Copies of this chain bind each other. A is one copy, B any other.
Amino acid sequence: MAVSRRTFIEQLAVVGGLSLAVAGMEALGFGFASAQAAPPPLTGKGKGVRVVILGAGLAGMTAAYELTKAGYDCQVIEARSFAGGRCQTARKGFSHTDLIGHTQVCDFDEGLYINHGPWRIPYNHRSTLHYTKLFGVALEPFVNDNDAAYVYFQNGGGPLAGKRLRKGQLAADMRGYAAELMAKAAGKGGLDLPLSPADRDRFIGYLVSQGRLSPKSLAYGPTEGRGFDVYHGAGLDPGPGKLSAPFALADILSSDTWRALEPLGDHEQQLTMLQPVGGMDHLAKGFERHVGKLIRYDTEVQKLTQGAAGVEVFFTDKAGKSGSIQADYCICTIPLSVLQGLDVAVSAPFKAAMAGPAYAPVNKIGLQMKRRFWEEDHAIYGGHIATDIPGIDTISLPSTGWQGQKGVLLGYYAFGADAARISAKSPADRAAFAVAAGQKIFPEYAESFESAFSVSWHLTRYSQGGWAEWSDDARASAYPVLCEPDGRLYLAGEHLSYLGGWQAGAIESAWQQIAKLHARVNAA
């Protein structure tokens, strides 16, 4: 599972870095620290202090927006011809040339798009939601869980391998069997239940409810929740319908499909998930409407020097013309994967720390289908198809345009070696790979396919990776170094957060760094 692999690394980091004692429950239960819900109040002096910001992604534009409001004199240097950084949406006419040299121009129909960068806004990312609200970016739910979605695992064993199964049926069966085993054991004293007799009865009640067991026999069997072979309906036929028979426990286990059932994992993945209506780049455009006039586009940073008096950033513009900007401070949001290759005047420990994180190979492909067969023929409205087909990992169905004619689905969302292998192909071959794989699950796939657009973030200029991945060691040694300024240089971005790869990490990192910078200016 795509999500889990990333999660796994992040969870290791969380656990590894967590030396703090667990505090008492906060009022709201989920610990929404106010520092993450709103930008820092930059009261005091800021007027006229010059800040050069490298990168017009979400971190850079957050810094530019908030500092400008506080009176700072900001300039933003952006290598791309547009703002947003990795916050991109591909729609008709969007052009992308990767580091191999493949150029693609998106040819989706009007109104269709793929978010090949960030695509989800978790309800608990209050920082991101602060700006969607502020900038009037319309939101809609992103279907991040769908009981009707298929699970397709081909590498396991047994009769369920290579079959498409409904996630809700797998979940019902596994919960049912587990609850039955447990409820029966509890009755026979096989469990060490540290409970009063009344609570033990409640616990069995919980198992009955979770597993949809027979309250009498505690057996798991066909239930309405698992679904029907013949759906219930009107009259006498189908009338009550015909309930479906559970899969055998051993068959589910040997197929490995149970691995696709991961409730309540990452806190970010939980319900309700949101997305901007019409594409994630509407968030970037919201920022751009306010700070666009400060951005120097098509301008590549070459070198940064700094001294007691300030910083100087040397750049080359689109025409190849060199120039420089002097400022009092610099906020650099360039990914470390790129920054390491630039001539940046920082201390040796800081320079060494910059090599700390790895950058994730990640790729996505959008496939325009001329018919929404997943809705029409399969009754799947949004959500993710989990598969162990190498290089696919996740197929995701659009959470918008319901019951329309066409749609763009996400044909793969892969990581690491799988992503690197597929990304090495030409765009046409990547599409052919994705279509052939999807065909295993949906017989309508190939005949419906019209057009593809793929992005490999590790092969994307000015990004060179999806996000920073921190090992425990690097998180302990390098990360704290990079969170502090080096002279007059402050780094910001998702890489300086525990929300790696999330827009909230970029925004909150910028909030922290501008707060530090502002405190320094005011202390001066």
Q: Report the separation of the CA atoms of residues A181 and B256 in the bound assembly, to the nearest whole angstrom.
A: 23
For the complex formed, measure the closest distance between the CB of A33 and the CB atoms of chain B, giving whole angstroms: 5
- Does A421 lie at the interface of the complex (its beta carbon under 8 Å from any beta carbon of B)? no
- Does A451 lie at the interface of the complex (its beta carbon under 8 Å from any beta carbon of B)? no
Q: A242-B23, A263-B171, A381-B272 are in contact. Are A165 and B231 (CB under 8 A)?
A: no
Tier of interface size on chain A:
35 or more
For the complex formed, measure the closest distance between the CB of A138 and the CB atoms of chain B, giving whole angstroms: 8
Segment at the interface with B among A186-194, A289-297, A325-333, A459-467: A186-194
For the complex formed, measure the closest distance between the CB of A272 and the CB atoms of chain B, giving whole angstroms: 4
- Does A254 lie at the interface of the complex (its beta carbon under 8 Å from any beta carbon of B)? yes
- Determine if B233 and A36 form an interchain contact, defined as CB atoms under 8 angstroms apart: yes
Chain A positions within 8 Å of B, measured between CB atoms, are 11, 13-14, 17-18, 20-26, 28-33, 35-36, 123-124, 126-127, 129, 132-133, 138-141, 143, 145-148, 164-166, 168-169, 171-172, 174-175, 178-179, 181-182, 184-185, 190-196, 198-199, 202-203, 205-207, 209-210, 212, 222, 224-236, 238-245, 249-250, 253-254, 256, 258-259, 261-267, 270-272, 274, 378-383, 399, 402-403, 480, 483, 496-499, 504-505, 508-509, 511-513
- Determine if B496 and A234 form an interchain contact, defined as CB atoms under 8 angstroms apart: yes
- Determine if A148 and B270 form an interchain contact, defined as CB atoms under 8 angstroms apart: yes
Q: Report the separation of the CA atoms of residues A418 and B133 in the bound assembly, to the nearest whole angstrom.
A: 39
Q: Report the separation of the CA atoms of residues A235 and B147 in the bound assembly, to the nearest whole angstrom.
A: 37
Q: A228-B267, A243-B18 are in contact. Are A141 and B139 (CB under 8 A)?
A: no
Q: A30-B231, A143-B272 are in contact. Are A194 and B250 (CB under 8 A)?
A: yes
- Determine if B480 and A236 form an interchain contact, defined as CB atoms under 8 angstroms apart: yes
25 residue pairs bridging A and B, Cβ less than 8 Å apart: A14-B224, A14-B232, A17-B239, A22-B245, A25-B229, A26-B230, A28-B378, A29-B164, A29-B244, A31-B229, A36-B231, A36-B234, A129-B403, A140-B402, A141-B143, A174-B210, A181-B192, A190-B190, A194-B249, A195-B249, A203-B253, A205-B259, A209-B262, A233-B497, A238-B498
Number of copies: 2
Q: Report the separation of the CA atoms of residues A381 and B168 in the bound assembly, to the nearest whole angstrom.
A: 23
For the complex formed, measure the closest distance between the CB of A181 and the CB atoms of chain B, giving whole angstroms: 5
